[in-house]
Amino acid sequence: MEKIIFLAETRDGKGKGVARKLRSKGFIPAILYGPDIEPICIKLDRKLNEKTILHLTSHNIMAEMKLKKNGEEESFQVILKDIQTDPIKDEIIHLDFYKLSSERPVIMEVPIVIKGKSIGEEKGGILEQELREIKVEGLPKNIPESIEIDIKGLDFGHAILVKDLKLPEGIKIIEDAHRVIVTVLKPKEKVEEKVEEVIEEPKVISQEKVEERRREKEAEKEES
- Per residue in 55-90, pLDDT tens? 775 666 788 999 999 889 999 999 998 899 888 888
- Give the confidence band of 159 by pLDDT, cuts at 50, 70, 90: very high
Structure-model confidence comparison of residues 213 and 10, the more confident one? 10
Which DSSP symbol is given to 177?
T
Which DSSP symbol is given to 141?
G
Q: Are 99 and 34 within 8 A, CB to CB?
A: yes
Out of 131-145, 189-203, 205-219, which region has the weakest mean confidence (pLDDT)?
189-203
CA 121 to chain centroid, in Å, comes to 20
- Looking at every residue in the chain, the average pLDDT score rounds to 85
Q: Are residues 111 and 94 part of one domain? A: no
What is the domain range of residue 138?
107-185
Report d(CA 127, CA 106) in Å as an integer.
32
CA 90 to chain centroid, in Å, comes to 20
Number of domains present in the structure of the chain = 2
Q: Are 32 and 68 within 8 A, CB to CB?
A: no
Neighbours of 128 (CB within 10 A): 12
Structure-model confidence comparison of residues 216 and 112, the more confident one? 112
Structure-model confidence comparison of residues 202 and 21, the more confident one? 21
Out of 25-29, 35-39, 118-122, 211-215, which region has the weakest mean confidence (pLDDT)?
211-215
Q: Are residues 119 and 145 part of one domain? A: yes
Beta pairing class for 37-45 and 5-10: antiparallel
- Give the confidence band of 12 by pLDDT, cuts at 50, 70, 90: confident
Residue 64 maps to which CATH number?
2.40.240.10
| Pick from 52, 39, 53: nearest CA to 83 | 53
Q: Are residues 162 and 121 part of one domain? A: yes
Specify if 218 maps to a domain.
Answer: no
Q: Are residues 9 and 95 part of one domain? A: yes
Give the per-residue pLDDT at 150.
Answer: 94
Task: List phi, psi (to 5°) of 76.
Answer: -160, 170
Specify if 216 maps to a domain.
Answer: no
Neighbours of 83 (CB within 10 A): 16
Question: Would you list the DSSP string of 61-96?
Answer: SEEEEEEEETTEEEEEEEEEEEEEE-TTT--EEEEE
Whether the pLDDT of residue 92 is over 60: the answer is yes
- Give the confidence band of 54 by pLDDT, cuts at 50, 70, 90: confident
Give the per-residue pLDDT at 55.
Answer: 74
Q: Are residues 112 and 44 part of one domain? A: no
Report d(CA 187, CA 195) in Å as an integer.
24
End-to-end CA distance of the chain: 104
Mean pLDDT, residues 1-5? 74
- Give the confidence band of 191 by pLDDT, cuts at 50, 70, 90: very low
Whether the pLDDT of residue 98 is over 50: the answer is yes
